[in-house]
A and B are shown apart, each in its own frame.
Chain A
């Protein structure tokens, strides 16, 4: 908004600083994924838009006087599809994506520990799965020593046990 009101010379300073900031951040970022990533992103949005439009058409459009359940989602879906199509055309050269690298395995493992915790918690309580999650994250994802892993994991789970069950009195499923 600010650049709408300021004369051109001020805009240059602001743009310059923005470019400098972007450049500064760029150094920290992993390599960009290239056109393939952009095309995939745009295609996913396109599919969601088209799918959403088809489904919402089925919910009933109603009339302008009495809009049906489907009209609003239909309008939004069409907008998504149109913008995604535009992105497919103009967005191929963008470099704001990040390549999946070998270290992308880390979040994948992290995600699996989330799922395991969610599945085990109702069955055997939160303590053991939480301890496991901490150990995996500290030792294998974080590269901590075993000593630090055991101390941190134990202390964390104990703290959560007392915080949730006694401090906040929230009935988490628990074993002990």
Chain B
């Protein structure tokens, strides 16, 4: 690791301007985490146009802050309202709300904040040490490796997580198709432009993301959120007792590790790791029956893990150029807007950005710890702001923002169309996330595939005979066939062990 570059990164972060954007980012993140509705991916999408007008490093620091800040904020609504502000805090609801009912909301929030800080810091340390190594190793990657890796990334994001896997894979494939709109960079042929001049340049990532995530979610929330009064529980005594800390320290330690590891995997991320950490605590506990009835470990573990995962999911983005989840796809897009292609060369070519962003997380998390313990009362009061007041403000930010990218009303209409598509997809049970992610990676996969075919002289087996791309593709096949294999195994098991456990089948079918 280049220690000088690392230290220069700190110097950069402590510049007043960058500190300010870091603070703005984590504040916005915390806010949208507290407010149910817009998630971090949608918020980053809506704010993407700002990257055109401020310094690149500051922009990325701010957008990154939104992502990990949201993990802190999501806890507050889970504990106080039984309403997870973020998907990654869903599992916190069980014990968090139970604690709140026993008058221990403050303890739950305090432990969650401490766990979040520890998890994130452990994860940043891991990121600091591991990221340059991975980047150095991946410098040898060629086109076949990149094509395979991007394809695996798309598949993993589509198949891990909630929702029907077939639908998610269809959405991802649609994203890949969408990425081909415009002039083909190899032959100059126009594809799917239907004679439109504006489409020749392809569809702008920002416009697609703002439509599918931003407008889509705004419209969807408009329909969903009637008459849900927010009456948060009273919060007293945020500082946890020594006993509470002692009781949850194991959970925080394990949560940090689980989060770090699962966050690196594409599609893993904060949601998956919070579930896994909760499950791990329940499993090793001597009194698993306490879980769901106000076990402090049930808050500490998932909240630690989701922050650790949110941080470590920067590793594949910054070292391989592969976004691990929808929010990372937004940051990937933001970097592309700034003319920076994320990948293994980033640490050498733009050490300021690489270390600036990583080191900003040390400071951002410190700010979040300070915000979320003494200032929790302020955020609780924000819960009383009616969603109806915020909806038109986000709507206006989105429309005016997308216009400012190219000063083009055509972009507004494209965004509206994608907004409608995003809304309809949600209604019929397709997640827009895999589609946006595949759209971002589409040109990497296609260009990698086509250049590889040139290298292999038309022999597609070349992908499998190169060790790294072969391994990646083998993993691809494994992941793709895993659900099928699993259901066959389950069925065989059900046939041999009588009576047939129908309940298990229900769990296995990939429904929500």
Contacts and interface: CB of A to CB of B under 8 A. Distances in A.
A139 B281 CA distance: 47
A106 B223 contact: yes
A33 B279 contact: no
A68 B186 CA distance: 8
A25 B90 contact: yes
Contacts, number: 239
Interface string B385-410: 01111011101100110011001010
Interface majority SS on A: helix, strand, loop or mixed? Answer: helix
Contacts of A142: 386-389, 391-392
Give the contact-size bracket for chain A.
Answer: 35 or more
B180 A73 contact: yes
B268 A1 contact: yes
B64 interface: no
Interface in A7-62: 9-10, 13-22, 24-26, 30, 33, 37-38, 40-41, 45, 48, 52, 55-56, 59-60
Contacts of A164: 400, 404
Contacts of A172: 400, 403-404
Interface string A130-151: 1001100110011110001000
B150 to A, nearest CB: 13
A118 B391 CA distance: 18
A13 B279 contact: yes
Nearest to B188: A69
Mostly, the B contact residues are: helix
Interface of A: 1-2, 4, 9-10, 13-22, 24-26, 30, 33, 37-38, 40-41, 45, 48, 52, 55-56, 59-60, 63-73, 76-77, 79-80, 83-84, 86-87, 90-91, 94-98, 100-101, 103-104, 106-107, 110-111, 113-115, 117-119, 121-122, 126, 130, 133-134, 137-138, 141-144, 148, 152-153, 156, 160, 164, 168, 170-172
Given A15-B508, A97-B427, A115-B413, 19 more contacts: A1-B262, A13-B279, A15-B507, A21-B275, A38-B429, A65-B458, A68-B187, A69-B191, A76-B173, A87-B167, A94-B511, A95-B511, A96-B167, A96-B511, A103-B223, A111-B416, A114-B399, A144-B389, A156-B393
Closest 6 CB pairs of A and B: A142-B388, A65-B458, A96-B429, A137-B392, A69-B189, A107-B219
Interface of B: 50, 53, 90-91, 93-94, 156, 160, 162-164, 166-167, 169-170, 173-174, 176-177, 180, 184, 186-187, 189, 191-192, 215, 218-220, 222-224, 226, 262, 265, 267-268, 272, 275-276, 278-280, 282-283, 386-389, 391-393, 395-396, 399-400, 403-404, 407, 409, 412-413, 416, 419-420, 423, 426-430, 446, 449-450, 453-454, 457-460, 482, 506-508, 511-512
